[in-house]
Structure 1
Amino acid sequence: MTKPKILISDKMDPRAAEVFRERGCEVDEITGKTPEELMAIIGDYDGLAIRSSTTVTEEILAAATNLKVVGRAGIGVDNVNIPAASARGVVVMNTPFGNSITTAEHAIALMFALARQLPEADTSTQAGKWEKNRFMGVELTGKTLGLIGAGNIGGIVASRALGLKMKVVAFDPFLTPERAVEMGIEKVDLDGLLSRADFITLHTPLTDDTRNILSKENLAKTKKGVRIINCARGGLIDEAALKEALDSGHVAGAALDVFAKEPAKESPLFGTPNFICTPHLGASTNEAQVNVAIQVAEQLSDYLVNGGVTNALNMPSLSAEEAPKLKPYMALAENLGTLLGQLNAQEIESIAIEVEGAAAELNIKPITGAVLAGLMRRYSDTVNMVNAPYLAKERGLNVAEVRHEREGDYHTLLRVTAKTSEGEKSVAGTLFANKAPRLVEIFGIKVEADLAGHMLYIVNEDAPGFIGSIGSTLGEAGLNIGTFHLGRRNAGGEAVLLLSIDSPIEEAVLWNVCKLPGVKTVKALNF
């Protein structure tokens, strides 16, 4: 089997390349390339490992004809065009936990530095001054820390702050009251945080909702004398408004590790009293650099070698342990989606994916992705389970996932139902021996069939001699029947015939089959 090929395009700890090789991948470390130079070589690689220097644009993705996954060693993926990657079926991963402690500690360090004016005191003392009365600090004990964002890094900051005997309040739309109690903090709305916090620290991604979350208006709502720390993303704070608030004394101090534009060679904040800044050092410790390098290598190799998906931003997570168990279900799901897509001539309005029995206990998201991948092949010949949900959403296709605790005729069952202008059409399948995908129902008719290769789908009136007519027609065309599967609603009623054929079926043969008495529908299928 050909080994997956990885390109490391940014400087990274040597352990990354070692991990790739240990896990059965080929790896090249080629750093410092221009976008044009990267486009010239990227087509040879299955995976791309980056940090912040490489920008993965739509043009680079278009040139990456074999690329399956991009891994960012770090949290931020501002340098990856995720919609373009999704559209091309490329998984985008990050390593959100490798530098969490390092970033949280940096935020705490900046909070101490603000509270005790450490940078200014250091500069003054080394200049030969002894301005002891000039630097009157404040204690952290008993103060209220306001967290904007209480996820992984925010949670670590909260635990450290509680250890310092601070009171912690948090604004985070995704923080549940139960989780807040577990963390020992108080959940509040944004206005409540702004009015109460003595210190504010930001730990949220940069989105349309969070951009300038500390705007001029919101800074005016803060408690007079507040101190602000940002080790998350530039753009969360209106920097010009922060400058005004510092100059007026409403904000007693601010410490930024990140800026809206980086590298920050110029800023209205530079030189402002009571302002501290560092050059995006949140993740800059030896431990963090090693951790994120190892994690990105483990994640990319797990995906390319075992099918495991960890910390992906554009598809559901799938552990390396889950992947083997889900693999036959995903094959079944893709087959059912492919069957439904090929048989349905009408525009599909919505899809329902139902699982019952053993399937109901599984991670349904990869199964949904596989169904949509099969279904959406009618729209794109490059579709896969990564970009299929993106294509479905782009076309306004509603997707519902339903779990049934019941167990019916089969120990495990997957049903896919499409709603069209002509009503609902449903197909269902199971696994034989927990590994062999098998169709068991098509449009309400029971039929057991393998879905593979070239197949012929026929709907006809159940009548004597029909099977012989089909055999003769195909035999005269030189087509050999591999397998033969028959189902019917009732004797003499509508019947369904699924045949596997050893070679492609020409249009003329399909017309000859259509002419047979009692034939209603004929369709060539490919799996």
Structure 2
Amino acid sequence: MKPMAPRVLVSDELSETAVQIFRDRGVEVDYMPKLGKDKEKLAEIIHQYDGLAIRSATKVTEKLLENATNLKVVGRAGIGVDNVDIPAASKKGVIVMNTPFGNSVTTAEHAIAMMFAIARQLPEASASTHAGKWEKSKFMGVELFNKTLGVIGAGNIGGIVCDRAVGLKMKVIAFDPFLSEERAKQLGVTKVELDELLAKADFITLHVPLTDKTRNILGRENLAKTKPGVRIINCARGGLIDEAALKDALDSGHVAGAALDVFEVEPATENVLFGHPNVVATPHLGASTTEAQENVALQVAEQMSDYLLTGAVTNALNMPNVTAEQAQVMGPWIKLAGHIGSLIGQMTDEPIKAINILYDGAVSEMNLAALNQAVIAGVLKAQNPDVNPVSAPVIAKDKGIQISTTKQDKSGTFDAYIKVTMVTDARERSVAGTCFSDGKPRFIQIKGINIDAEVGEHMLYTTNNDVPGIIGNLGSILGENGVNIANFTLGRAAVGQDAIAVLYLDQAIPADVVTKLEATGKFNQVKPLRFDV
């Protein structure tokens, strides 16, 4: 039976070309560009969709996500995701993607344009000339040549601004904790600390996201540290500048001018800075070019289609990126990681303190973040079936579970393996597994005992002291009750010591059969297991 095609809702304006990409890739798409503004109607139908493609009008709230029972991915055509509750989406297991590079050049160019505008008072001069005035002496500007530009945030957009400013023969200094000396050299800029940038820059432009650390990065205290006569540009995010403090600095003349494309509250129909003669304001136009709007729309359609059809993850904000090629190679290992986690999770009824994951050999060079998420999800699904790889790390953090990862070169018989150790107050329990050349996962060690167990949907795990009769008891009781064994694996620590059995069954073992096995007194533990295979 052919699987159903994934279904995507486009609830904001998106180009017809982008909508066609979904269709061409085999994704069903409903294009309802006005629906994003109708919260009630959107909440009513969102359960029908695997994907939601949006711009800024649609608000993906916790309340909306409660109704999104089938939703797997939200794609934001653009860089800003202020309209998406990412923590709520993560807990729900919904991937959130954006398109951070589609409008980079456009936004960087707008910042440069705004810098020219305040350097030469272009909006005021234009308005005056249109009014029939000829006020050449009133609009005395400053050159950009040889001036110092301070760039706060030299990432993708900030890096383009640096490049353009160097071309204008400006002296560029940058503050960015993640900027390497090598990258700074490539850009032709000098890396400095924030206080030095504030003291030296003739122009300051902001290109950082809005976080707890960056909120009001140009607040009253830092504005006081700036060079007298500084001009400030913000085409990044409202909230990076204390607007009331900036107005005071403009009024005093300490700040000569400001060019703002973003505001703390948007849409900004009123603002303390509106009407100020030394402020140039635009209505969040950074990404508003024909090319950028088309680029981000096409990108989000491609990214969402890739994920829904192949499992490839690109530009996700709450999950590691996994290319289509990686997804194909890693598929068996991600499955194995989930199975190992699931086995440990099903074996444990105690609160978990820590999950320690060891990657040995070739698997240690793969995308470990994605593998970690599969392990954690496998562990937690035993207690909560709704957990998935997106929500698992959030839930683990909420529970206070410590996650550690170790990688090492090939150390044993297998070219690669994964070993997971779970720590509780009472014990440590470990399981290791590998993928054979046929791509099928195998458990190769449980509690330090070597085995070779194929993974099936229905399994049975038992522990016992190594004494005669165990195989007979298992076989006879299961056979008498119509439970067929597809595969049977045994292992022991040493003669007469701890032993385990792992059985792959053709059907789920009934509860009364488990009771009969326990009643023999031969087993220390009898645990039915189930795996998503």
TM range (shorter): over 0.9
Residue of structure 1 equivalent to 2:469: 465
Name the amino acid aligned to 1:286: T
1:176 aligns with 2:165: no
The separation in 1 between residues aligned to 2:28 and 2:106, in whole angstroms, is: 31
Q: 1:492: Cα distance to partner?
A: 2.5
Residue of structure 1 equivalent to 2:13: 11
Q: Aligned match of 2:79 in 75, 78, 99? A: 75
1:49 aligns with 2:50: no
Q: Aligned match of 1:239 in 216, 238, 243? A: 243
Residue of structure 2 equivalent to 1:152: 156
The separation in 1 between residues aligned to 2:43 and 2:469, in whole angstroms, is: 61
CA-to-aligned-CA distance 1:212-232 (integer Å, 9 cap, x gap): 111112111110000000000
1:98 aligns with 2:102: yes
CA-to-aligned-CA distance 1:223-260 (integer Å, 9 cap, x gap): 00000000001111111111111111111010000111
Q: 1:505: Cα distance to partner?
A: 2.0
Q: Aligned match of 2:441 in 437, 442, 454? A: 437
Name the amino acid aligned to 2:143: E
| Secondary structure of the structure 2 residue equivalent to 1:92 | strand
Name the amino acid aligned to 2:311: G
| Secondary structure of the structure 1 residue equivalent to 2:468 | coil
Q: Aligned match of 1:262 in 249, 266, 269? A: 266
Q: Aligned match of 1:21 in 20, 23, 32? A: 23
Name the amino acid aligned to 1:126: H
| Secondary structure of the structure 2 residue equivalent to 1:460 | strand
| Secondary structure of the structure 2 residue equivalent to 1:310 | coil
Residue of structure 2 equivalent to 1:304: 308
| Worse-matched range after superposition: 80-89 or 123-132 | 123-132
The separation in 2 between residues aligned to 1:54 and 1:111, in whole angstroms, is: 32
CA-to-aligned-CA distance 1:370-394 (integer Å, 9 cap, x gap): 1011101133211111101111111
The separation in 2 between residues aligned to 1:213 and 1:270, in whole angstroms, is: 21
Q: 1:315: Cα distance to partner?
A: 0.6
The separation in 1 between residues aligned to 2:47 and 2:518, in whole angstroms, is: 45
Name the amino acid aligned to 1:3: A
The separation in 2 between residues aligned to 1:474 and 1:307, in whole angstroms, is: 39
| Secondary structure of the structure 2 residue equivalent to 1:479 | coil
The separation in 2 between residues aligned to 1:214 and 1:9, in whole angstroms, is: 35
The separation in 1 between residues aligned to 2:254 and 2:383, in whole angstroms, is: 57
The separation in 2 between residues aligned to 1:420 and 1:17, in whole angstroms, is: 50
Q: Aligned match of 1:205 in 206, 209, 225? A: 209
Taking a change above 3 Å as real, the CA distance of residues 434 and 186 of structure 1, as seen in their structure-2 partners, is farther
Taking a change above 3 Å as real, the CA distance of residues 38 and 472 of structure 1, as seen in their structure-2 partners, is same
- Structure 1, unpaired ranges of 5+: none
The separation in 2 between residues aligned to 1:132 and 1:512, in whole angstroms, is: 99
Q: Aligned match of 2:428 in 424, 447, 471? A: 424
Name the amino acid aligned to 1:144: T
CA-to-aligned-CA distance 1:285-324 (integer Å, 9 cap, x gap): 0000100000000000000001000010001010111111
Matched-pair contact (CA < 8 Å) for 1:246–1:273:
no
Matched-pair contact (CA < 8 Å) for 1:328–1:434:
no
The separation in 2 between residues aligned to 1:493 and 1:208, in whole angstroms, is: 56
CA-to-aligned-CA distance 1:105-147 (integer Å, 9 cap, x gap): 0000000111111111111111111111111111111111111
The separation in 2 between residues aligned to 1:134 and 1:502, in whole angstroms, is: 88
Q: Aligned match of 2:33 in 27, 31, 34? A: 31
The separation in 2 between residues aligned to 1:421 and 1:271, in whole angstroms, is: 64
Q: 1:21: Cα distance to partner?
A: 1.0
The separation in 2 between residues aligned to 1:209 and 1:434, in whole angstroms, is: 49
Q: Aligned match of 2:219 in 203, 215, 227? A: 215
| Secondary structure of the structure 1 residue equivalent to 2:262 | coil
| Worse-matched range after superposition: 325-334 or 511-520 | 511-520
Residue of structure 2 equivalent to 1:2: 4
Name the amino acid aligned to 2:412: G
Matched-pair contact (CA < 8 Å) for 1:231–1:257:
yes
Q: Aligned match of 2:200 in 193, 196, 201? A: 196
Q: 1:434: Cα distance to partner?
A: 5.3
Residue of structure 1 equivalent to 2:529: 525
| Secondary structure of the structure 1 residue equivalent to 2:482 | coil
| Worse-matched range after superposition: 21-30 or 94-103 | 21-30
The separation in 1 between residues aligned to 2:66 and 2:389, in whole angstroms, is: 18
Name the amino acid aligned to 1:399: I
| Worse-matched range after superposition: 127-136 or 254-263 | 127-136
Q: 1:76: Cα distance to partner?
A: 0.5
Matched-pair contact (CA < 8 Å) for 1:488–1:494:
yes
The separation in 1 between residues aligned to 2:205 and 2:152, in whole angstroms, is: 6
| Worse-matched range after superposition: 279-288 or 237-246 | 237-246
Matched-pair contact (CA < 8 Å) for 1:352–1:417:
yes
Residue of structure 1 equivalent to 2:67: 63
The separation in 2 between residues aligned to 1:3 and 1:510, in whole angstroms, is: 40
Name the amino acid aligned to 1:104: A
The separation in 2 between residues aligned to 1:185 and 1:209, in whole angstroms, is: 24
For these two proteins, the number of residue pairs brought into alignment is 527
| Secondary structure of the structure 1 residue equivalent to 2:5 | coil
Q: 1:503: Cα distance to partner?
A: 2.3
Q: Aligned match of 2:381 in 359, 377, 382? A: 377
The separation in 1 between residues aligned to 2:500 and 2:382, in whole angstroms, is: 23
Residue of structure 2 equivalent to 1:116: 120
| Worse-matched range after superposition: 230-239 or 451-460 | 451-460
1:487-506 residue pairs with structure 2 within 5 A?
Answer: 487-506=491-510
1:165 aligns with 2:165: no
| Secondary structure of the structure 2 residue equivalent to 1:119 | helix
The separation in 2 between residues aligned to 1:345 and 1:252, in whole angstroms, is: 65
| Secondary structure of the structure 1 residue equivalent to 2:324 | coil
Matched-pair contact (CA < 8 Å) for 2:14–2:33:
no
The separation in 1 between residues aligned to 2:113 and 2:242, in whole angstroms, is: 23
Name the amino acid aligned to 2:473: S
CA-to-aligned-CA distance 1:480-502 (integer Å, 9 cap, x gap): 21211111112222211111222
The separation in 1 between residues aligned to 2:383 and 2:163, in whole angstroms, is: 50
The separation in 1 between residues aligned to 2:423 and 2:39, in whole angstroms, is: 45
The separation in 1 between residues aligned to 2:360 and 2:243, in whole angstroms, is: 54
Q: Aligned match of 1:486 in 481, 487, 490? A: 490
Residue of structure 2 equivalent to 1:450: 454
RMSD over equivalenced CA pairs, Å: 1.1
Residue of structure 1 equivalent to 2:416: 412
Matched-pair contact (CA < 8 Å) for 2:433–2:442:
yes
CA-to-aligned-CA distance 1:150-169 (integer Å, 9 cap, x gap): 11000000000011111111
Name the amino acid aligned to 1:510: V
Name the amino acid aligned to 1:37: K
The separation in 2 between residues aligned to 1:94 and 1:292, in whole angstroms, is: 9
- Structure 2, unpaired ranges of 5+: none
1:335 aligns with 2:339: yes
| Worse-matched range after superposition: 395-404 or 474-483 | 474-483
The separation in 2 between residues aligned to 1:431 and 1:257, in whole angstroms, is: 53
Q: 1:345: Cα distance to partner?
A: 2.6
Taking a change above 3 Å as real, the CA distance of residues 130 and 434 of structure 1, as seen in their structure-2 partners, is farther
Name the amino acid aligned to 1:125: T
Name the amino acid aligned to 2:102: G
